[in-house]
Chains A and B, each alone.
Chain A
Amino acid sequence: MDKVMSNRKIIALYVLPSLIMIMALIYIPIVLTGYYGMMQWDGVGAMTFIGMENYVQLFKDSFFWQSAGHSFLLALFSTLSLAIYLLVALVLSGQIKGANLFRKIYLIPMLLSSVAIAQLWLKIFHPTNGVLNSTLEALGVEHTPEWLSDPSIVLYAIFIPILWQYAGFYILIYYAALKNIPSSLIEAARIDGANPWQIALRIKLPLVTEVVKVTIVLAVVGSLKYFDLIYVMTGGGPNRSSEVMASYMYQKAFKGYDFGYASAISFFLLIICLVATWLIRKATASKEEIQYS
């Protein structure tokens, strides 16, 4: 077996199929999308090459920047909410009663598909029959908010299910990282007289910073390209007040028949995500790696 694995030809043979798949399904389409972005194309007829016009147009398109603003806001909220998730994971990783049950509770949204979550929250947000407004009415609120049709609040209303949807995912990652810390370290601290807060802040947190960095990248990039729940719940409306970059791209392609422009948007979206990842890695780069053995 060892012989086989050291044979370069065999290694290449094993790697080749997935390499071909990844090239064909990911990298070539990316290049093609950038290329289509230079076309004026309604998706049906012939393509006309117009150079960088779509990309230039993109920079002048106030609707695009509005939706980009919404995407960045979502990225900000997602990043901030990571702190809460980390806190929950810290609590769960300690010896509390019912930790198992809580872990399951937080994980359940992860098991549901986005569309199911969207349907669930549509019912909750329903302006007259929804649980939320019924409760508010019972509490004596006279003018209950119209969660999904009031342009000033729709964006925040829709962030709630999105953050809820991913809570379990991040809590699980943090939980696993925290559980990975050797118990000897914590025990040693305890013997030295550290209280649970000190253990959490001085030992557990520093040891999971690498994981936190990864989750920040995941949260930001995930938010920037977020699409499904928003599409099902509001379709980007009313009047674009909950539009994000991906839903705007979808609208341009499938409703407005402007596939060239939509390709330009998605290519630009890719660049934004790459830049965001690079910036985050730069900003959070640490010189010393913490190691425990």
Chain B
Amino acid sequence: MKKALTLSVMLTVSMGSILAGCSSPKENNAAASSAPQATATAKTDAAKPVTIKFMHLWPAGSSATQNKIVNDIINEYQKDHPNVKVEQEVLENEQYKNKMKILSTSNDLPDIGMTWAAGYMDPYVKGNLFASLDDVLGSPELKDKFVKGTTEAFAFSGKTYALPVELNITPVYYNKEIFAKNNLQVPKTYEEFKNVVKTLSAAGVALIALGNKDRWTGSLWYMYLADRIGGKETLKKAIDRTGTFEDPSLIEAAKDIQDLVGMNAFNKGFNGLSNDEGKAEFMNEKAAMYMMGTWELPNYTTNKDVPQEFKDKIGFFKFPTVEGGKGDINSWVGGPGVGMFVSENSKVKDAAKDFVKFFVTKWGEHSVTEAGVIPATKVDTSKIQLPQMYIDLLNELSQASNITLFADVQMKPAAAETHLNMIQALYGKAVTPEEFAKKHEEALAKEAGK
């Protein structure tokens, strides 16, 4: 009997402490939300502790530099705001996307998170889960700070729901040594490009590194051909339903992809290899070319794990123009990468917005000097020592005539899924270019009708 009593007392005590532990953060949140001007008072009012939950996708393992920058920025912010605590939750890309969906079904998004632009965020904006960030965007610190065209991808009917941190364009990286050995020049036209393909193919070199299990990788090549043949508007219009996917130039681009596959332009088994496995062909110097976004830049410039000898061999070129096509060589496939959103249901919305403002500004500075990736905010690079390839690409960016947002990001989820499957089928010659166009047309029409 005595034992039972002690046990129940212990249970009561421990239950009590558990409950107390659970309730304390909630009290904090309540305190923060009851102060309407948390932003303004954040600095002075140290009495009100605020915890901001921040979910992002730069794990210390695979995105070491980005992870370090995030931590530096958070530390800096917390030093300025001793009452604010930023709690991080870090997930890898695919897991991140899944967790976002799970959390949103239970209306439990973190205070701050990352989102992709346009079609990806469409359901979240429609579901009223993201807070409008127009006030942050219009603040004196951020006004005119963003590179033109970056925030628009995150805007829906005039309101901006996330602020981008990166800007990417997609060049074709190539191995200068392999090109020199085969007496090849950087191709300026598609004819020249096909000659490169033929020459290298005859020499028995694997040409283009591609991991098409991820599917968006193959979409990049298709998008460029569509752009060069049909001009910058055709694909965009087909997706936003002012045009059609059965436009002759889009079918032509699909034909060209199958021609390239027929010429063995891509590494063997590409449809079953992930992007990382495909990339390995290029990094091991087995393949001569690799098309990828500028987020790959650190591997050819600053990444300490890649030998300098290899970095010196790598150059880049712009996707060549197609004879008779409407596109010009300064039109790029790319767009802003991820952007930061603030949850509409956040209890510490004002503090979260303040942190986003701080983060975006700081990220611009850090990402140039430390990570070697291109930020979405304008940065004065004149005083910093930067790798040559980075400067060249920044210059290309400033001369860009157009940036076409990645097709799977432009489309809404269901249509994007059809697009990606169709890309794999196209490369695997499981569909004809006409069927390819027709399936897109059906999926986009269905999505638009919803």
Contacts and interface: CB of A to CB of B under 8 A. Distances in A.
A256 interface: yes
Interface stretch (B31-39, B69-77, B271-279): B271-279
A44 B123 contact: yes
A97 B417 CA distance: 55
A127 B424 contact: no
Contacts of A149: 212-213, 269-273, 428
Nearest to B128: A45
B272 A43 contact: no
Contacts of A154: 272
B425 to A, nearest CB: 4
Contact of A151 (B212, B270, B416, B428): B428
A275 B424 CA distance: 35
Contacts of A42: 123, 127, 413
B213 A235 contact: yes
B269 A254 contact: no
B413 A126 contact: no
B105 interface: yes
B428 A257 contact: no
Contact of A239 (B104, B413, B424): B424
Contacts of B215: 237
Q: From DSSP, what is the main secondary structure of chain B's interface residues?
A: helix
A128 B430 contact: no
Interface residues of A, number: 31
Given A42-B123, A44-B127, A258-B414, A238 B271 contact: yes
Nearest to A63: B421
A215 interface: no
A282 interface: no
Contacts of A128: 267-269, 286
Contacts of A241: 430
A122 B215 CA distance: 17
Interface string B46-87: 000000000000000000000000000000000000000000
Q: From DSSP, what is the main secondary structure of chain A's interface residues?
A: loop
A238 B417 contact: no
A251 interface: yes
Contact of A127 (B128, B212, B272): B272
Given A43-B105, A44-B105, A126-B277, A256 B417 contact: yes
The 8 closest A-B CB pairs, nearest first, are A127-B269, A148-B272, A149-B272, A149-B271, A45-B127, A239-B425, A44-B127, A146-B269
Interface of B: 97-98, 101, 104-105, 123-124, 126-129, 212-213, 215, 267-273, 277, 286, 413-414, 416-417, 421-422, 424-425, 427-428, 430-431
24 contacts: A42-B123, A44-B101, A44-B105, A45-B126, A125-B272, A126-B269, A126-B273, A127-B269, A127-B272, A128-B267, A128-B268, A128-B269, A146-B268, A234-B213, A235-B213, A237-B213, A237-B271, A238-B424, A239-B421, A239-B430, A253-B101, A254-B98, A254-B101, A256-B417
